[in-house]
Amino acid sequence: CIFSLLTGSCGHGGIVNISQPYVVQLNWRGFSFKYGSWGRDSSLRTPQKDLYWVAPLNPDGRLLESYRLHNSYDDLLLLKNARELNIQYGEGSGTAVYNNFMYYNVYNSRDMGKLNLNTNTLAVRKTLPNAAYSNRFSYAGVGWQDMDFAVDESGLWVIYSTEDNKGKVMISKLNETTLDVLHTWNTRQYKPSISNAFIICGVLYATRPVNTRKEEIFYTYDTNTEQEGKISIIMDKMLETIQSINYNPSDRVLYVYNDGYLVKYNLIFQPVLH
């Protein structure tokens, strides 16, 4: 028998449990920078082979104005050899990094931005058709995250909503080169009632707060089968609000920005026997 639990593979039956949170550090801008996102891009196109990014929002919880890159986990831990860069401007903490590009909601628009991290220049700016924006249908307890970018084993996605579907979660698969929408799925889950979401192997997982110390992964939408599901996996948290979650398919870690702290969780998957 062979268990298919290799990193980057989808030969598993989904998440069955999650580790305790591992607190890496406070974000470099300090405790008042409660909002933001962070993660790891371990793409083949990163010249350094490993890239950690940290993108706190301004204390208004809206404006993404600066971010830092580190070429190793040790550098991140020691706050060493950072490249610190400015952009004009992103909105909300739905940012993701994939293959050496940063994807974010361009400030006060329904546009998606694709920033080249080698040059800090905008490579593509494209409208996400009919997307609600500017805090219309953000997440519960988290403002300005109308657009939440996600990366899974198959590439780049965006989680958002429109006026037409009255704030329910929509999931679009994007062409990462052009930001064209390749396919869209409509769920029945109201976006402002979930606190965050991420995608693994084409399955959207959504969270909601249970109390100030616990969050629950409670809802799934499988884009492969177009089926919704209910699950209950409890995530312990250090502070009250999970501002963002970024899944990395190559190490299968959730990178969580928890009220200014950079936190990691390991995921435990259901093995599938072949």
Ligand X SMILES: *[C@@H]1O[C@H](CO)[C@@H](O)[C@H](O)[C@H]1NC(C)=O
- The answer to whether residues 39 and 45 touch, using CB atoms and an 8 Å cutoff, is no
- The answer to whether residues 212 and 222 touch, using CB atoms and an 8 Å cutoff, is no
Binding mask 121-160 for ligand X (x = CB under 6 A): ----------------------------------------
Residue 79 or 182: the one with the smaller Cβ distance to ligand X is: 182
Q: How far is CA 17 from CA 20, 152, 246, 270, 272, in A?
A: 10, 18, 17, 9, 15
Q: How far is the CB of 175 from ligand X (least distance, A)?
A: 4
Q: How far is the CB of 239 from ligand X (least distance, A)?
A: 18
17 is an interface residue for ligand X by CB under 6 A:
yes
176 SS3 class:
coil
Where does residue 91 rank: exposed (0-12), middle (13-18), buried (19+ CB within 10 A)? buried
Among the candidate windows 26-34, 55-63, 158-166, 173-181, which touches ligand X by CB under 6 A?
173-181
20 is an interface residue for ligand X by CB under 6 A:
yes
Residue 27 or 207: the one with the smaller Cβ distance to ligand X is: 207
Q: How far is the CB of 114 from ligand X (least distance, A)?
A: 12
Q: How far is the CB of 18 from ligand X (least distance, A)?
A: 6
Query: Tokens at residue 169, please?
Result: 């979660």
List residues near ligand X by CB under 6 A. Answer: 17, 19-20, 175, 177-178, 182
